[in-house]
Structure 1
Amino acid sequence: MSENNDKSNNNNNSSNNGESISIKEVFALLKKEVESPGVLQAIDADTYQRIASALASLKGQGFEGVEAKVRDRMVELMSQSARLLIEVRQSKVRAATTTTTTTADNKEEPLDYSKLTDEEKYVLDGQAESASRMEQVVSATAKGRPKVLESISSRIRSKQIVVRFVRHMEQFIGVDMYRYGPFQEEDVATLPLENARSFIETGVAVQVHAQL
């Protein structure tokens, strides 16, 4: 009996076998999350993937007239609910990793890593890296270690990232004094971080993230 229950729980926590998810279900997840402040709720590991698949399916339906308006409204509602769900859960994760969450019975509620989806673990991993870098800078500065800061500066100045241009860009000289371009729309290039960030912020290019 116990073995069967374990299998059932594992199935609920891992995936829903690719089943579609409705707007009503997404809203129910959001409502439950909002109504339990400070406590992260357990959701299926493939929840975000199912939402994305449902949205892709909705957007791909070739309706016209009134039906098209209904479809677009459904897409909008599900997208907004999904965004809010992610944001509410992320606020709880941040709170749990920076301070101690207290439940109604005054017991500490640490972050339960098993309740995170893979996408949430991906975000948390990036936040941990950011916190580690901050500690490196603070520690090196406070303890009088200029060589460590020089090494950090050297690494960031030599860092390059991949971008995809969404607008035409004339040839330019990068911060590393090398010539780049010209680039046409949809061209992909590896550029010094400082130049790439400038183009991203002005809407000339978008960053291409490496696959995990």
Structure 2
Amino acid sequence: MTEIRVCLVDDQALFRAGIRMLIESQPDLSFAGEAADGAAGAALANRSRPDVILMDVRMPVLDGIAATERILAEADRGGYPAPRVLVLTTFDLDENAARAIRAGASGFVLKDADPEFLLAAIRTVHQGNAVIAANATRNLIAHAGRGSERSPAPPAWAELTPREREIFALAAKGLSNSEIAASEYLSEATVKTHVSRILAKLGLRDRVQLVVFAYEHEL
């Protein structure tokens, strides 16, 4: 079994201790380190190269948004796989959480979420999927989309085939691969291939960024 290496960046020591115990209790997860602010978190990520980072959004020195941007930029410059960033927040509709997603985070989880949900979220983002706190998806993504002026679709949009645009529209509504497959009478493997090609053509990291892209460009 390949362990998922997890780092935690949060300024509350007691919270860090609890999360560390939770992660260390799981056979498929390993705790790769912790930091109390965003700057230290970025340095930890560069040093430890974790698979997933749990990132508090409000911290001293460097907040979770700037830290996420720094971590992903350093991975890009260094030519190594970027970790998946899962933002931790107190509010289910948080402007900062929306901004973190725009910065490249793979989703967000409420700090008071059930332990089982947090563990499932870690495994989900590690697989390349996105996670948004329950009951907040549509509002959060719409909020994120309003964070910048609406603009025409970029030239890359024209590279999508008609079929890929159909899959894009369904994914932008939040449908899973299995739901798209059932709707379009396709196999899940085919849908996954289409989604991967769409993300690559549009330069997007994951499905959360796909939905934000759809709102930004009125698609």
What band does the TM-score fall into relative to the shorter chain?
under 0.3
Per residue, is there more strand in 1 or in 2?
2
Per residue, is there more helix in 1 or in 2?
1
Could you tell me the TM-score, scaled by structure 2's length? Answer: 0.27
Could you tell me the TM-score, scaled by structure 1's length? Answer: 0.27
